[in-house]
């Protein structure tokens, strides 16, 4: 039996989640009602919602979600089907116990296997989309700036796609150890060594064919433009922004652009023409054993501990890479 109300969490003050009780939404034609069972904390949550200061109703947060369909008015999805679901534009965010699922924002996942592992196909799928925009990866020298869950996913996918060198940079040594596990050929801690000298030495002076900006900082964005080879490619994935003022301008050292003339490719899978196809593709790849992004999970907590989970993620301490919340 479906209850009448559910728990919902949204940010009500900087780094503070508020708990609300709200009516479970009614579904319309071609929609599903999903009981959410897994919620994965994402770096973009920290960038765009964790410090939010607006409105007393709270700011919606969390978009890496998985659960089971308990009611359907869609011909494509049946009751009992497990899915990864993206919040639609009409939703209240993802930190809730039930949500309306729209087929265009849902990927089917097998009914077997750990749901925590399956939900990580959402962020890994967005990385897969970025990789699809790059073109040929075979034989390329790749530099990845930032080794959170996204940067590590890039490393794992490049390792399975024929890159000749996968150079990973991050100031946290624990994450660099993770980099080696997923397929990095070289790691650099830029707080301990010159990243310019290290990349030059590793690549025999040619620099990187492809640079991935997966950290989301002004410095690493400029690093990408400086460390790419002439006429190479820079992929912008990280969000360089102030969550309370998303229109804040970022300073770019334009002489690096003029010196190296890179092709710059910003990628946001959720804004693509089909925001779910790359996630479904990642699910299919995981199912056939190509790569399991669930290996990036370092912590799991109950839904009721969401406040603690976001604090842990924002701190980047205690080996945190990927946190998944499970139903209580």
What is the predicted pLDDT for the residue at 257? Answer: 95
* Cα–Cα–Cα angle for 38, 24, 98, rounded to 5 degrees: 10
Identity of the highest mean pLDDT range in 51-55, 58-62, 266-270: 266-270
Q: What are the structure tokens assigned to 148, written together? A: 């959170």
CATH superfamily of 5-119+292-326: Medium-chain alcohol dehydrogenases, catalytic domain (3.90.180.10)
Maximum separation of any 2 CA atoms in the chain, in Å: 65
Give the C-alpha separation, 57 to 46, whole Å: 19
- 5-119+292-326 and 127-270 have identical folds: no
Rounded to an integer, the average pLDDT of 267-280 is 91
Owner of token pair 């990385």: 127
Architecture of domain 127-270: 3-Layer(aba) Sandwich (3.40)
Closest to 85 in 3D by CA, of 115, 57, 112: 115
Report the predicted TM-score, pTM, of the whole model to 2 decimal places: 0.94
Placement of tokens 């693509």 in the chain? 272
For residues 314 and 43, give the distance between their C-alpha atoms in angstroms, rounded to a whole number.
8
State pLDDT tens for residues 218-270.
999 999 999 999 999 999 999 887 655 666 788 999 999 999 999 999 999 88
Nearest to 66 by CA among 77, 78, 46, 81: 81
pLDDT of 79 strictly over 70: yes
pLDDT in tens, 314-324: 999 999 999 99
Distance (Å, whole) CA 49 – CA 13 = 10
Q: Where are the domains of the chain?
A: 5-119+292-326, 127-270
Q: How confident is the model at residue 56 (pLDDT cuts 50, 70, 90)?
A: low
Pairing status of strand 322-326 against strand 106-109: unpaired
Most confident range, picked from 32-46, 177-191, 248-262: 177-191
């Amino acid at each position: 039996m479906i209850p009448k109300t559910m728990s919902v969490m949204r940010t009500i003050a900087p780094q503070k989640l508020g708990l609300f009780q709200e009516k479970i939404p009614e579904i319309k034609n071609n929609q599903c009602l999903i009981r959410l069972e897994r919620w994965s904390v994402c770096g973009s949550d920290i960038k765009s919602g964790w410090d939010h200061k607006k409105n007393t109703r709270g700011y919606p947060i969390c978009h890496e979600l998985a659960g089971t369909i308990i009611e359907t008015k869609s011909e494509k999805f049946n009751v009992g089907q497990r899915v990864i679901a993206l919040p639609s534009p009409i939703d209240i965010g993802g930190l809730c116990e039930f949500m309306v699922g729209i087929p265009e924002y849902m990927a089917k996942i097998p009914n077997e296997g750990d749901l925590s592992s399956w939900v990580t196909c959402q962020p890994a799928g967005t990385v897969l989309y970025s990789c699809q925009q790059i073109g040929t990866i075979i034989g390329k020298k790749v530099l990845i700036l930032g080794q959170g869950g996204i940067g590590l996913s890039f490393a794992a996918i490049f390792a399975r796609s024929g890159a000749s060198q996968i150079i990973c940079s991050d100031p946290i040594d624990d994450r660099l150890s993770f980099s080696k596990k997923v397929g990095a050929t070289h790691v650099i801690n830029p707080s301990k060594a010159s990243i310019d000298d290290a990349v030059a030495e590793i690549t025999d002076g040619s620099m990187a064919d492809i640079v991935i900006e997966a950290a989301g900082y002004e410095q690493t964005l400029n690093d990408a433009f400086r460390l790419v080879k002439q006429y190479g490619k820079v992929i912008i994935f990280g969000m360089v922004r102030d969550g309370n003022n998303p229109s804040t301008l970022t300073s770019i050292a334009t002489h690096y652009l003029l010196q190296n003339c890179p092709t710059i490719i910003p990628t946001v899978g959720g804004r693509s023409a089909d925001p779910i196809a790359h996630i479904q593709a990642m699910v299919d790849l995981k199912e056939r054993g190509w790569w399991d992004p669930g290996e990036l999970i370092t912590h799991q907590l109950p839904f009721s501990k969401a406040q603690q989970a976001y604090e842990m993620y924002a701190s980047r301490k205690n080996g945190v890479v990927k946190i998944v919340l499970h139903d209580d």
